[in-house]
C-alpha cells in the first residue's frame, strides 16, 4: 500500500519500517512547521541513555509558517555538537566507521532550509541501507487523505507508539534496549543487516 509520511531529521526506525514496506511513498511538503516534533530533532542512545539532538530553526512572526520555508538557525554550531554526540554514542559500534564518510557531509556543509536537509538525509540513509527510495511530494495540504495510509503522525514522537524487536545496542548492558530511536542507531549497530531487520518488523 502507498503511504503519506513526513521527511524528518534522521528519521526514527518506525519511519524506515514503513518506507521499507510501502508500495509507493509520498512525502508531505505542504504542512505548517510544528515545534516539538521530529521535523528538526532525532533521538540517539548516548552513554547516559536517550539523548535528544535538536536543530535550531529561525522563528517567524507569522502564526502559520510552512515547513518547507523553515530556515535553519546558523548562529549556533549545531553541526559540530551533533557530530560529537554521535561519535560519543556510536564510535565503538560495529558499523560507525563504515558509514562515517557517508553521513559526515550533513555535518560539514551549510544548509539553509530544514526540509531540504531532511531530503538529503533520506537519500543518504536509504543508500546506506541498500534500500532504493522512490517518492513523490504533495502539491497541496489535505487534513484527511484517502487511498494511502496516513503516517504523518509518526513525525510526532509522542504519538508514535511503535514497538520493535530488540537488537544489540552499544550501551544496552548499561541501560537496556531503547526502542525506536533514530535510524542511525540501527544502522551503526546492525549495518548491512539493518534492512532485513526493518522488513521483519510490524507496525
Task: Record the pTM.
Answer: 0.96
Q: Where are the beta strands (DSSP E) in the chain?
A: 2-5, 24-27, 41-46, 49-54, 136-137, 149-150
pLDDT for residue 92: 97
Question: For the segment 54-90, what is each residue's pLDDT rounded down to a tens digit?
Answer: 999 998 877 678 999 999 998 889 999 999 999 999 9
pLDDT for residue 130: 97
pLDDT for residue 84: 98
Low-confidence ranges of the chain (pLDDT < 50): none
pLDDT for residue 61: 75
Nearest to residue 15, comparing CAs of 42, 35, 46?
A: 42
Q: How far is CA 30 from the centre of its chain?
A: 18
What mean pLDDT value characterizes the chain? 95
Residues 6+ apart with CB under 8 A from 131: 16, 19, 20, 195, 198
Are the beta carbons of 189 and 167 closer than 8 angstroms? yes
What does the block give as the cell for 102? 557517508
pLDDT for residue 1: 86
Amino acid at each position: 500500500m502507498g503511504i503519506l509520511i513526513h521527511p524528518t531529521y534522521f528519521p526514527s526506525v518506525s519511519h524506515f519500517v514503513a518506507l521499507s514496506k510501502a508500495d509507493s511513498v509520498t512525502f508531505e511538503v505542504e504542512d505548517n512547521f510544528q515545534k516539538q516534533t521530529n521535523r528538526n530533532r532525532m533521538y540517539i542512545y548516548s552513554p547516559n541513555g536517550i539523548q535528544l539532538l535538536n536543530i535550531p530553526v529561525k522563528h517567524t512572526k507569522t502564526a502559520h509558517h510552512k515547513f518547507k520555508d523553515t530556515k535553519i538557525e546558523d548562529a549556533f554550531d549545531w553541526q559540530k555538537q551533533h557530530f560529537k554526540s554521535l561519535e560519543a554514542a556510536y564510535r565503538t559500534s560495529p558499523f560507525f566507521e563504515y558509514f562515517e564518510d557517508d553521513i559526515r557531509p550533513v555535518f560539514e556543509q551549510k544548509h539553509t532550509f530544514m526540509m531540504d536537509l531532511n531530503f538529503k538525509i533520506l537519500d543518504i540513509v536509504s543508500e546506506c541501507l541498500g534500500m532504493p527510495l522512490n517518492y513523490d511530494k504533495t502539491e497541496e495540504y489535505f487534513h484527511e487523505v484517502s487511498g494511502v495510509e496516513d503516517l504523518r503522525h509518526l513525525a510526532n514522537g509522542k504519538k508514535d507508539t511503535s514497538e520493535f524487536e530488540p537488537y544489540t545496542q552499544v550501551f544496552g548492558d548499561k541501560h537496556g534496549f531503547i526502542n525506536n530511536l533514530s535510524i542511525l542507531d540501527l544502522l551503526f549497530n546492525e549495518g548491512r543487516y539493518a534492512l532485513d531487520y526493518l522488513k521483519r518488523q510490524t507496525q
